[in-house]
Copies of this chain bind each other. A is one copy, B any other.
Amino acid sequence: MLDAAERAFSAGGFHGASMDAIAREAGISKPMLYNYFGSKEGLYVAFLNRAGQDLARRLLEADTEGDPLEKRLAAGVGAFFGYVDEHRDGWRVLREELGRQGEPLGGQMADLRGLIATLVADLLADERPPASPEERDRLAAFGYAFIGAGQSLADWWLDHPDVPLEHLTAVLVAMAAQPA
């Protein structure tokens, strides 16, 4: 049922999707949508939550703790790309919402944002713990930059599906390896 919302929201964002269309696509009636989610915003939040949790779970599961940094990174990057590949539509919405700040819906999104950033930062900090607060800031910034690179690369990939995943992973991992 949230799948219909995924497709609908991905086309025109929150405002571009109509409850009519979502209900029709989901094969149920509009009042049912309202019964389950209360409002359009409720449905949107529910969808975002599911998408966010899916991604978060995937990232956490893929983390091969104990392995060397490069391997862990590759695993995480692979998981991320896998998610984007399978949820192309949902990812577009999730990404947009991840970029927004201070919104009412932001609460849940902030969690995910933080989780991802932390994940990346931890991964890197693991090997080279930040010596100073400045270093910590730089690591955090790097985390965000890294995420953005991943996002963008994922988009590009959708346009060039013949490029093997390993190449993408290699590019990203190379980027991450740099600040050593």
A178 at interface by CB-CB < 8 Å? yes
Q: Given contacts A92-B99, A149-B148, A151-B152, is CB(A141)–CB(B15) below 8 Å?
A: no
Tally of this chain's copies = 4
Q: How far, in angstroms, from A146 to B152 measured CA to CA in the complex?
A: 8
- On chain A, which size bracket covers the interface? 35 or more
Instruction: Render A139-180 as a binary contact track against B, CB cut-off 8 A, 1 for contact.
Output: 011101111111111011111100100011011101101110
**Contact call A178/B167, Cβ cutoff below 8 A:** no
A16 at interface by CB-CB < 8 Å? yes
**Contact call A146/B149, Cβ cutoff below 8 A:** yes
CB distance from A115 to the nearest CB of B (A): 15
The one of B92, B148, B168 in contact with A141, judged by C-beta atoms closer than 8 angstroms, is: B168
A96 at interface by CB-CB < 8 Å? yes
Closest to A99 in B: B155
CB distance from A19 to the nearest CB of B (A): 14
Closest to A154 in B: B148
Q: How far, in angstroms, from A150 to B156 measured CA to CA in the complex?
A: 15
Contacting residues, chain B, for A145 (C-beta < 8 A) = 149-150, 152-153, 156, 171-172, 175
Q: How far, in angstroms, from A100 to B149 measured CA to CA in the complex?
A: 16
Q: How far, in angstroms, from A152 to B172 measured CA to CA in the complex?
A: 15
CB distance from A94 to the nearest CB of B (A): 12
A138 at interface by CB-CB < 8 Å? yes
Contacting residues, chain B, for A157 (C-beta < 8 A) = 141
Instruction: Render A13-52 as a binary contact track against B, CB cut-off 8 A, 1 for contact.
Output: 1111000000000000000000000000000000000000
- Known A-B contacts: A101-B159, A141-B160. Give 8 more (CB < 8 A): A92-B100, A137-B163, A140-B156, A141-B157, A144-B153, A145-B153, A145-B156, A149-B175
